[in-house]
Amino acid sequence: MTSMGKTNLSIKGRDFYINGKLVYDEIEGNSNSKGLLMNARFIQGIFDDKTNIKRFNRFNKIFDVDTNTDDFIAALPEWYEYGLRAVTVGIQGGMPVFTIDVNTIDNNPFGPDGMRFDEAYAKRLDKIIRAADSLGMVVIVNILYWAQALRFKNEDALVSALTCAASFLKKRSYTNIIIDVANEYNIETWNDVKIVQDPKNMKMLIDLVRKESGGMLVGSSGGGGLIDQEVVDASDVVLVHGNGLTRGVYYDFILRVQEMAPNKPILCNEDSPCISRLEVAHLTHTSWGHYDNFTKQEPPCDWSITKGQDFFFARRMAASLGITLPELPLEEQFYLQGLEPNTEWQGKRWIRLSAEYPEKINYVNFYRNGEFIYRSYDEPYFMYRETTWIQKPWNINKDDKKWTAEIILADGRTIVKSVKV
């Protein structure tokens, strides 16, 4: 099959190019953004569950695998207008962070022996890559996810699956992809899969995938703040994650990665809802990936630019790239999120305060029916925060009438956002 050709991704030094021009070259504005590849984690784009797909009929929706992919594709043009140029899609998907146990989900399209790539999955992935190509966007194709990789009968099957996936990508001659061999290869959940977790073995797997894909750009993402020199050296694109890191720690982490890879593009393709990291990305000339772990990782996903977190990320990204947008009034720069009608699951809600400029906030007080419940000091201002990307739920009570977020700004002003339920 001949090359699609509209979106030809290449790298030179620390920069990404599309069709021979620095990414964002067409946008007048921040010169330090030229050559970056701002992205978002849309990992469930071809999701399925052979165990029980009907349990994903929720949030007032009926889940359908093809509709999920079609909705994904339909959302891409609006994201593109705000400056998004890449999305991460997982062949084996990812974890519904807040709800269903990922160990009970069968989303492995390679079978236990790793010898074939399920035709329906392949068709959905092909649709996404081709849609992205037509827009001038890149797809970061993640092949392995730990919970699904455990379904392989042995390590040989895992290697066969990598070969199978890489061969599929090669046959279709895609020119707009980066391959992420294994999501967070060096975290504890890979303990039982040493062929992935060991850096020397991962170097071998990266080399294998590069060869079998015909020389496509390859790397493998590490866990938040974790990096290995062997994998950096083997990678065409150094893929990192920022989960769990404060802004300052993330900055220091990126400086360390740059010392390890002084002349390679560094791309974070999973962090958190902490959009202040965009400032670090531009300061260090590294690409950054937004991670909305509710609307974009809990099937059925809403792939649009949803109100609150997604909208504020899109605006911050656009502004940082030099795309001119009208300024929002101060009151509209904050949104009490998680109380929408379609975000309840089994009597639980995940409540947060989203902000266009979280750096302006000192702390947020949460009140239920006028009674103080919780104070959040750190971005992303979750109620019952555990880390930058995980929070505990609120168990819904029939007496819940009104939720209020009292936002204390760093300059001493107070903004109040309330929602009646």
Q: Residue 4: is its pLDDT beyond 70?
A: no
Q: What percent of the chain has pLDDT over 70?
A: 99
Cβ(138)–Cβ(176) below 8 Å: yes
In tens, the pLDDT along 155-213 reads 999 999 999 999 999 999 999 999 999 999 999 999 989 999 999 999 999 999 999 99
Residue 31 confidence (pLDDT): 82
In tens, the pLDDT along 230-258 reads 999 999 999 999 999 999 999 999 999 99
Residue 266 confidence (pLDDT): 98
Ordered structural domains, the chain, with CATH: 9-321 (3.20.20.80), 330-420 (2.60.40.10)
In which residue are the tokens 């069709």 written?
Answer: 19
In tens, the pLDDT along 269-302 reads 999 999 999 999 999 999 999 999 999 999 999 9
Q: Which residue has the higher pLDDT, 299 or 28?
A: 299
Residue 54 confidence (pLDDT): 97
What ranges in 228-293 are assigned the alpha helix state H?
Answer: 229-234, 247-260, 277-284
Q: Residue 361: is its pLDDT beyond 80?
A: yes
**H or E segment and range at residue 212:** helix 199-212
* CA 50 to chain CA centroid, nearest Å: 23
| Cα–Cα distance measured from residue 111 to residue 170, given in angstroms and rounded to the nearest whole number | 20
> What is residue 12's three-state secondary structure?
strand
What mean pLDDT is predicted for residues 116-136? 98
> Is the pTM higher than 0.95?
yes
Q: Residue 3: is its pLDDT beyond 90?
A: no
| Cα–Cα distance measured from residue 178 to residue 236, given in angstroms and rounded to the nearest whole number | 9
Confidence of residue 32 (pLDDT cuts 50, 70, 90): confident
In tens, the pLDDT along 256-267 reads 999 999 999 999
Q: Residue 351: is its pLDDT beyond 90?
A: yes
Q: Residue 337: is its pLDDT beyond 80?
A: yes
Q: What percent of the chain has pLDDT over 90?
A: 96
Q: Residue 88: is its pLDDT beyond 90?
A: yes
Residue 29 confidence (pLDDT): 77
Ramachandran region, residue 111 (left: φ > 0; alpha: ψ -120 to 50; beta: rest): left
**H or E segment and range at residue 207:** helix 199-212
